[in-house]
């Protein structure tokens, strides 16, 4: 009796599977690690590409196993085919991702397999980025800042007509600027679609991607988080701008968020609990007079996490740095992105990503933090 680590998923939905195989496939396939070797079991469509592109030690054809399963049973299911593969190697016990389909686990248990959940993520080592992974994220992030720079220039170059921004004769709307950013990224090999360009009343909801005209004297949040087509690593950054003079209340929350982000960045280092960073920023905001909670029927203040891990997933452990214990390690890449959101004033968020070191952190890429443009 022998144990294996096992994944059945598509690389699009499961970054651990991509991490393990370095192979991209739109459809689910079988992967397992047994006695230090990696196996993929592929259909006719993917087998040759898997042999060429993946880093598996062996790429097996699924055809023989399907035939054997069909010989053993009418209308065999996925578990029956998997049984043919595993029984050949006397594997009776599997460590699988937490996310694995319960229907498949039920069927395998019925066939006598012992199934246990592995860690989350399934390859925890991918949370501690090595130099190459750090560089891949940095390269994405430099393009993120180039895109934010382009967006900043578009806002700066706009004219104001009837309290709306107009660029080269046409209204500069949230949608138009979002498309400009997304096209800029795609031309350079990065995919983004839900880029946030939210102005005024839209900006008080952190996940509102924005709609309608951009206006002067109101906050414009630009939050850009594309994925590299080549490396599959994400970048993520946010800046908040204001075309023309900002109202005093907006200037004040901008300065406070900037101070909160600086505090957060100064606290990041190996060994710190993320919760402490989050609570320190919340306390600073309270001290400056900015409280958090439900007011006037909606959440106001600082009601999202201080940040999240990112890499091959946009949100990976720590998926939310908030009132939850999570001790940072060297090599973690996390965002530090406090924000304040108030009805009547608008929203402000400033976000950078950092690589955690023993004594502090390296901020990946640089871009000015200035409200008025």
In the bound state with a second copy, the residue whose beta carbon lies nearer, of 123 and 363, is: 123
Question: Binding residue for a second copy (CB under 8 A) from 3, 87, 93, 179?
Answer: 179
In the bound state with a second copy, the residue whose beta carbon lies nearer, of 14 and 240, is: 14
Q: Between residue 69 and residue 98, which ones bind a second copy under the rule CB under 8 A?
A: 96, 98
Count CB neighbours of 98 within 10 A: 10
Q: Sheet harboring 159-161: ordered strands across?
A: 159-161, 164-167, 170-171
Compute φ and ψ for 164, nearest 5 degrees: -130, 145
Whether the CB-CB separation of 243 and 371 falls below 8 Å is answered with no
| Angle at the Cα of 343 from the Cα atoms of 337 and 349, rounded to 5 degrees | 15
In the bound state with a second copy, the residue whose beta carbon lies nearer, of 255 and 283, is: 283
- Tell which residue, 33, 273, 16, has the closest CA to residue 126: 16
In the bound state with a second copy, the residue whose beta carbon lies nearer, of 128 and 208, is: 208
Choose the binding region for a second copy from 182-190, 248-256, 269-277, 330-338 (rule: CB under 8 A).
Answer: 182-190
Question: Binding residue for a second copy (CB under 8 A) from 206, 216, 219, 260?
Answer: 206
Helix H segments across 268-305? 274-287
Whether the CB-CB separation of 243 and 217 falls below 8 Å is answered with yes
Query: Cα separation of 186 and 191, whole Å?
Result: 6
Whether the CB-CB separation of 264 and 336 falls below 8 Å is answered with yes
- Tell which residue, 296, 342, 337, has the closest CA to residue 318: 337
In the bound state with a second copy, the residue whose beta carbon lies nearer, of 216 and 351, is: 351
Q: Between residue 2 and residue 31, which ones bind a second copy under the rule CB under 8 A?
A: 13, 24-27
Question: Binding residue for a second copy (CB under 8 A) from 6, 19, 34, 46?
Answer: 46
Query: Cα separation of 281 and 333, whole Å?
Result: 19
> Does 343 sit near a second copy (CB under 8 A)?
no
In the bound state with a second copy, the residue whose beta carbon lies nearer, of 209 and 280, is: 209
Compute φ and ψ for 148, nearest 5 degrees: -65, -35
Binding string, 106-135, against a second copy, x = CB under 8 A? x--------x-x------------------
Question: Binding residue for a second copy (CB under 8 A) from 55, 72, 156, 183?
Answer: 183
Q: Taking the complex as a whole, how short is the minimal distance between the CB of residue 84 and a second copy, in angstroms?
A: 18
Question: Binding residue for a second copy (CB under 8 A) from 1, 36, 44, 248?
Answer: 44
Q: Taking the complex as a whole, how short is the minimal distance between the CB of residue 280 and a second copy, in angstroms?
A: 19
> Does 299 sit near a second copy (CB under 8 A)?
yes
In the bound state with a second copy, the residue whose beta carbon lies nearer, of 23 and 331, is: 23
In the bound state with a second copy, the residue whose beta carbon lies nearer, of 278 and 304, is: 304
Residue 107 contacts by C-beta under 8 Å, 6 or more apart in sequence?
A: 77, 78, 79
In the bound state with a second copy, the residue whose beta carbon lies nearer, of 2 and 193, is: 193
Q: Exposed, middle or buried, 131 (CB in 10 Å: 0-12/13-18/19+)?
A: exposed
- Tell which residue, 71, 85, 99, 78, has the closest CA to residue 14: 99
Query: Cα separation of 252 and 250, whole Å?
Result: 5
Q: Between residue 307 and residue 326, which ones bind a second copy under the rule CB under 8 A?
A: 314-315, 319
Binding string, 243-282, against a second copy, x = CB under 8 A? ----------------------------------------
Q: Taking the complex as a whole, how short is the minimal distance between the CB of residue 74 and a second copy, in angstroms?
A: 12
For the chain, report the end-to-end CA distance as a whole number of angstroms: 67
> Does 170 sit near a second copy (CB under 8 A)?
no
Interface residues with a second copy (CB under 8 A)?
Answer: 13, 24-27, 44-49, 96, 98-106, 115, 117, 179, 182-183, 186-187, 189, 191, 193-194, 205-208, 229, 298-299, 303-305, 314-315, 319
């Amino acid at each position: 009796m022998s144990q294996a680590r096992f994944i059945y998923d598509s690389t699009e939905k499961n970054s651990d599977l991509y991490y393990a195989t370095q192979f991209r496939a739109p459809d689910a396939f079988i992967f397992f690690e047994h006695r230090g070797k990696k196996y993929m079991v592929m259909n006719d469509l993917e087998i040759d590409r898997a042999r060429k592109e993946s880093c598996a030690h062996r790429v097996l054809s699924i055809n023989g196993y399907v035939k054997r399963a069909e010989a053993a049973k009418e209308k065999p299911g996925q578990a029956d085919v998997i049984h043919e593969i595993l029984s050949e190697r006397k594997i009776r016990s599997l460590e699988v991702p937490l996310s694995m389909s319960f229907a498949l686990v039920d069927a395998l248990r019925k066939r006598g397999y012992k199934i246990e959940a592995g860690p989350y993520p399934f390859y925890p080592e991918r949370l501690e980025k090595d130099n190459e992974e750090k560089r891949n994220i940095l390269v994405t992030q430099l393009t993120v800042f180039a895109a934010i720079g382009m967006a900043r220039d578009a806002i700066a170059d706009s004219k104001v007509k009837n309290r709306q921004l107009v660029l080269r004769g046409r209204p500069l709307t949230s949608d138009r600027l979002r498309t400009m950013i997304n096209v800029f990224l795609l031309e350079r090999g990065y995919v983004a679609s839900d880029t946030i360009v939210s102005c005024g009343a839209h900006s008080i909801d952190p996940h509102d991607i924005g709609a309608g005209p951009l206006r002067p004297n109101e906050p414009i949040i630009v939050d850009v988080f594309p994925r590299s087509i080549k490396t599959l690593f994400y970048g993520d950054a946010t800046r908040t701008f204001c075309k023309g003079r900002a109202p005093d209340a907006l200037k004040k929350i901008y300065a406070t968020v900037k101070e909160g982000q600086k505090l957060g960045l100064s606290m990041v280092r190996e060994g710190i609990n993320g919760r402490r960073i989050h609570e320190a920023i919340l306390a600073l905001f309270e001290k400056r007079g900015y409280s958090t909670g439900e007011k006037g029927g909606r959440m106001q203040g600082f009601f999202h996490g201080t940040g999240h891990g990112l890499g091959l997933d946009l949100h990976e452990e720590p998926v939310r740095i908030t009132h939850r214990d999570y001790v940072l390690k060297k090599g973690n890449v996390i965002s530090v992105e406090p924000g304040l959101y108030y009805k009547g004033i608008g929203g402000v968020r400033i976000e950078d990503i950092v690589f955690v070191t023993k004594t502090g952190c390296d901020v990946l890429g640089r871009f000015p933090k200035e409200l008025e443009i």
